[in-house]
Amino acid sequence: MRIGELAKRAGTTTRTLRYYESRGLLRARRAANGYRSYDEDDLRQLRQIQTLRDFGFELEETRPFVDCLRSGEPAGDVCPASLAVYRRKLAELDDYLGQLTALRATLGTQLAAAELAAGARVPGGPAPRCELTHHDHDHDEEHLS
């Protein structure tokens, strides 16, 4: 199949395919007329790249999976290098989740302190005064005159 058909079947652009080719992730063969030529294996490799990118993998992180497919494996994630990328990505996600959990705790503490300082509103009681949203109506009239 030609590059336009591959792009259409994969739901991407020919520009993206050329970029992947320049990075060595997609290998085009050249037909006698010089046009790029692809087959179903190329489509499978491209779909592997797209799936991993959808999961948040960097483009270079997809290389072991593509190499695994090229080696003849039915799935790109059964080779040792692919498994190592999965493990590394999970460790990154665990670290990120830890950071988010710590940030959430900090924000919760800040919110509690801010509510306490503002004298959390009691139903039926006066609203806490916020200097940032308070309007001085007399001052507004001066500007209108």
The CATH code of the domain that includes 43 is: 1.10.1660.10
Please tell me the predicted confidence (pLDDT) of residue 6.
Answer: 93
Q: Has residue 49 been placed in a domain?
A: yes
Q: How many domains does the chain have?
A: 1
pLDDT digits (tens, 9 = 90+) for 32-42: 888 888 999 99
* C-alpha–C-alpha distance, residues 64 and 78, integer Å: 10
> Of 10-19, 20-29, 79-88, 133-142, which gets the smallest average pLDDT?
133-142
Does some domain include residue 98?
A: yes
Has residue 118 been placed in a domain? no
Q: What is the mean pLDDT of the chain?
A: 86
Q: Is residue 37 part of a domain?
A: yes
